[in-house]
Structure 1
Amino acid sequence: MSAAFVAGEVAGRAVPVVAGVLGAGGVAVAALPSRVRMRAELRKRWRTWALAAPLFLGAFFVGRAGAFALAAGLGVIAVGEYARMAALPRGERAVLGGAAVAVPGLAWAAPGALDLRAAGALLIAAAAVALFSGDASQGFTRACRTVFGLLWIPVSLSGLVLLGETAVAVGVAVAFGDVGAWCGGTALGRSGPLARALSPLSPNKTWAGVVGAAVATAAALAAVGAFTPVLWAAVLVGCVLGDLLESMVKREAGVKDAGSWLPGFGGLLDRIDSLLVALLLTMVVTW
């Protein structure tokens, strides 16, 4: 059975689960009284979720071509946001933009080509612009930031193509995990040991949020018929570390959000930061 066909089956199982949660969430958000401080923000987030969910799941009904289109589209936008935060020059931006399409393209057309040869080519491409420009003051920094961006975004997003049915499960579980982390932090993170921050990089992220994410990701994976302890661990760690990793990048860049065009979230990277790490870890443990 092909990965694309199986992905369609999993996406089919995910549709009623996601639709049900979105429906219940929409009713809950609409019923919030005006005195609730985050009412407007939560409504924006719900609308963004309602638009993003059909796009994500619909891509997998198309098959591997749809997964490639989704990965490339997300990648091009995300590397643009990352390049601005990392203050990368035009040459490195071109390398990242090309890789955002080429790496998922290889995953689609020739998955066996994503090996040490591809890793070497990405390393050379990341350093080539600074090498040939003769940048002795910032060249190493530019190359390192480009290598990081390549691994973080295009390589991670290639998992949408390579993982087949598992990519659908990971995407749904990460979305549920983000909501669960917020609910857990809100309900349990006011006092006590669970109120401790995970890292100074993001003081609002607490151990209570990890508990909420753990419950939500497990429930999501079980609901789409994909729960295993290893996959659950990869998704949960991705949810936790992905958010902190982007916070580290934003802190150094001195920005609050990666962008401002996505209602309720900021930029695309603010929405998919956990997905990127979860996909990468899932490829490590399952592919």
Structure 2
Amino acid sequence: MSALSRAVPVVAGVLGTAGIAVAALPARVRMRTELRRRWRTWAFAAPLFLGAFFLGTGGVAVFAAGLGVVAVAEYVRMAGLTRADQSVLVLAAMALPGLAWLAPGALGPQLALGALLLAAGPALLTADAATGFTRACRTAFGLLWIPLGLACLVLLGETALAVGVAVAFGDVGAWCGGMALGRSGPFARRLSALSPHKTWAGVLGCAAATAGALAVLGAFTFPVWAAVLAGCVLGDLLESMVKREAGVKDAGSWLPGFGGLLDRIDSLLVALLLTAGVTFR
């Protein structure tokens, strides 16, 4: 049985159950409105994600490119980059998923070197002595984080589908773990100053949820699970670091319940990169 055929009933069942639970929440529950917003976003995003895999590798590549263009725009605003830097990132966001689909062998060290030189190109061409190095570094980081991460969505095939579902379940598991065990006790310790509301209880809940999701989808191995769990934790902290330096709460404001697209896929990007690292050896 393929990962897609396993994922569809699992995701549909979880969404249906969660929808009933959220609809039944009494008005006195403080987070009722927020949870309903998040559920509607999940209900919209899940068919898009699964539908891309239903269309095959080409569909995943187009989906990844679309995500990349939006995520790059949010990153450019937070990082304070120029339109020229954004053009480089948008080009990479569209090109790398396409290469991963049509010529996966081209995604090698030579391309990585070319991407780093391309990241520095706008600053070099404008002889930006004041902020050129900072711009080049931030553009290079954006290239590695967003376009390359989304290219892994194509390269990993059905494993990427399992990773995507596991990351989504991990997000919910982290919230449930934090609510159940993060009030007091040993697991209530703060994970990092970068994200004060994240606790070790959330990591425990995320670990359980990601393991369960990967097992149900037939994709569980210890290296993949470790990569997904690390991606869930580190991806969230990484974006929190970017947002704190930028002085913003969210990457955007258009995605109900989450903020921006990067607020939703930050963990997925890192999880995909780490999974590719333990898979392609």
So what's the TM-score if we normalise by structure 1? 0.97
- State whether structure 2 residue 109 is matched by structure 1 residue 116: yes
1:33 is matched with which residue? 26
Code of the aligned partner of 1:62: L
Of the three residues 137, 141, 146, the one matched with 1:153 is 146
Question: Residue 192 of structure 1: CA displacement?
Answer: 1.2
Matched AA of 2:5? G
Residue 92 in 1 paired to residue 68 in 2? no
In the TM superposition, 1:2-81 aligns within 5 A as 9-81=2-74
Residue deviations 1:50-88 (CA, integer Å, cap 9, x gap):
010000011001111011011101100000000000010
- Which residue of 2 is the match for residue 82 of structure 1? 75
1:158 is displaced (CA, Å) by 0.5
Q: How does 1:66-215 map to 2 (within 5 A)?
A: 66-215=59-208
Q: Matches of 2:125 and 2:214 in 1, distance apart?
A: 47
- Shift in Å at residue 10 of structure 1? 1.1
Deviations 1:150-183 (A, max 9, x none): 0000001111110001000000000000000000
**Secondary structure at 2:233's aligned position in 1?**
helix
1:120 to partner: Cα distance:
1.1
The residue type equivalent to 2:56 in the other structure is G
Distance 2:183 2:23 in 1: 25
C-alpha separation between the residues in 2 aligned to 1:257 and 1:27? 28
1:136 deviates by: 0.4
In the TM superposition, residue 12 of structure 1 has moved relative to its aligned partner by 1.4
Q: Given the alignment of the two structures, is residue 255 of structure 1 paired with residue 253 of structure 2, yes or no? A: no
1:4-50 Cα shifts (integer Å, max 9, x gaps): xx8xx211110000001001100110011101111000000000000
2:277 aligned residue (271, 278, 284): 284
Structure 1 residues 175-204: Cα deviation after superposition (integer angstroms, max 9, x where no partner): 000000000001100011111111100010
Percent of residue pairs identical: 74
TM-score relative to the length of structure 2: 0.99
Instruction: Name the amino acid aligned to 1:259.
Output: G
What is the letter of the counterpart of residue 56 of structure 1? F
Deviations 1:191-218 (A, max 9, x none): 1111111110001000000000000001
Cα distance in 2 for partners of 1:146, 1:80 equals: 12
Q: Letter of the 2:124 partner, please give it.
A: L
Answering whether residue 213 of structure 2 is matched by residue 220 of structure 1, we say yes
* Counterpart amino acid of residue 144 in structure 2: L
Give the match's secondary structure for 1:205.
strand
Q: Distance in 2 between matches of 1:11 and 1:72?
A: 21
Equivalents in 1 of 2:5, 2:47: separation in Å? 11
CA RMSD of aligned residues (A): 0.7
Residue aligning to 1:241 = 234
1:214-242 per-position Cα deviation (integer Å, ceiling 9, x unaligned): 00001101111111111110000000000
- 1:265 equivalent in structure 2: 258
Stretches of 4+ aligned residues off by more than 2 angstroms:
none
For the residues of structure 1 that align with 2:64 and 2:172, how far apart are their CA atoms?
22
